[in-house]
Amino acid sequence: MQSFLVLGPLAAFFIAFKLAGIYVGTAVLMGAMALVLLIDYIRERRIPPLHAMSGALIFVLGAATLALHDERFIKWKATVFLWLLGLLFLGSTWIGERPFVQRLLEGTLENGPALSLRRWRTLNLAWVAFYFALGAANLFVAFHFSTATWVNFKIFGLTAATFVFVLLQFAWALKSAKAPLNG
């Protein structure tokens, strides 16, 4: 169900874009995100912060796209979201007891070896760099290629890059947990 909530709006946007263009795709994305937020609230009596942030960006930038009939606004959404995530991860380096990546991933490594705080911070900074680079890549594709190419990059490229990065991070974390602290 959680995968549907994350990927559902993207799939709806992609299909609507292919059938009717960027403006219909944007409107469908806004509707799909509203549905995700409603499902979140019904299931958990709250809306997860990342869904709320994504929804707010979709509604504001989507409304600007539709009202001004200018697709540049919706193209900014992924970059703004990724850069806000990068800032969140960066801020967690100094705020709180644990970096944000440790809060997210520590449970998934529960049965494996533990990482030192230094290694969690290194991993956290890798996520900061990744989010900023991905946001920059989105802008490059959005403003140097066709809208169709950008949609494909947004749906498939960003998703694939994130999946590969997560796999690499798990591999690094497992390897680092076994290495000496100075390694």
CB neighbours of residue 109 within 10 Å: 15
Q: Encoding tokens for residue 142?
A: 């959005």
Cα four-point dihedral sign 29, 32, 36, 38: positive
pLDDT in tens, 108-129: 666 555 778 888 898 999 999 9
Question: Which residues have a Cβ under 8 Å from the Cβ of 162 and sit 6 or more positions away?
Answer: 134
**pLDDT reading at 155 higher than 70:** yes
pLDDT in tens, 65-108: 999 999 999 999 999 999 999 999 999 988 888 888 888 877 76
